[in-house]
Amino acid sequence: MSETTAEPTELTSQYSAQVAGDLERNLKEQERIGGEIAALQAQLAALLHDHTVLVNIQQALGASATPPAPEAEPASTVPAPRKRGSGAAKRAKDKKTATAARKRSSTKSAATAAAASPASPTLVELVREHLADQGEPRSAAEIAAALGQQHPERTVKTTVVRTTLEGLVAKSQAQRSKQGNSVFYTGPDATPVPAGEDSPQQSD
C-alpha cells in the first residue's frame, strides 16, 4: 500500500511544480504584452493630438486642403498594466507631448516672423521717393551715392540707378534735363531746368 500511495504523491508534486512554473511564465507574458499595448496606446493618443494641432495650424496659415484624420480603431480589452509598465507609458506620452509643443512653437514663430518682417522697398521706389524729396535736379551718380548712404545694406550702382531713372522718365514719373554734357533728373512735378543741346554723350 505504501508504494502505491507514494507514486501518485510524487507525480502530483511534479505536475504541481510544472503548473506553477507555467502559471508564472503566463503572468509575466501578460505583464509584458500589457505594458507594450499601453505604451502603443499612449503613442497613438499623442499622434492624434499632434494631428489635431497641425491641422489647426495649417488652417490658420490659410491652407485649403487638409488630409482627413484617420479613424482610431477601438482598443481591445486588455488586462490592466502593472505599475512597472505604466511608468514607461507615461514617459512615452510626456516625450510625445513635449515634441508636439516644440513643433507648435517653431511653426508659430516662423509664421509670426514672416508676417512681421516688412517687404524691402524696390530700387524704383527708393529713386522715386528720393526725387520727390529733392528740390533741385540731381545726377544719377549723386542719387546713387545718396541712396548708398541711406541704405548701406544694399549695393546701389550708378548704372542701375541711371536705367531706373530712364524708366521713370519713360513713364512720366520723372523729368530729365541736360546742362552741357551732364544729365539731371527731377520729380514729375518739379519745374524743368532749361535744357541745352542734346548730346549723345551722357555723364553723371
The domain of 176 spans 123-186
Same domain? 148 vs 51: no
Alpha-carbon gap, residue 28 to 126, rounded angstroms: 77
pLDDT top residue among 98 and 86? 98
Query: Is a pLDDT exceeding 50 seen at residue 31?
Result: yes
Same domain? 95 vs 15: yes
Alpha-carbon gap, residue 128 to 185, rounded angstroms: 11
Per-residue pLDDT, 59: 87
Same domain? 137 vs 101: no
Query: Is a pLDDT exceeding 90 seen at residue 26?
Result: yes
Query: Is a pLDDT exceeding 90 seen at residue 182?
Result: no
Same domain? 24 vs 79: yes
Do 140 and 161 contact (CB within 8 A), yes or no?
yes
Q: What is the pLDDT of residues 92-132, one digit of tens each?
A: 667 777 776 676 665 555 545 444 445 677 888 888 888 88
| Angle, CA of 139, 144 and 149, to the nearest 5° | 130
Other Cβ atoms less than 10 A from the Cβ of 186: the count is: 20
| Residue 165 included in any domain | yes
Same domain? 166 vs 135: yes
CATH code of the domain covering residue 145: 1.10.10.10
Mean pLDDT of the chain: 75
Count of structural domains within the chain: 2
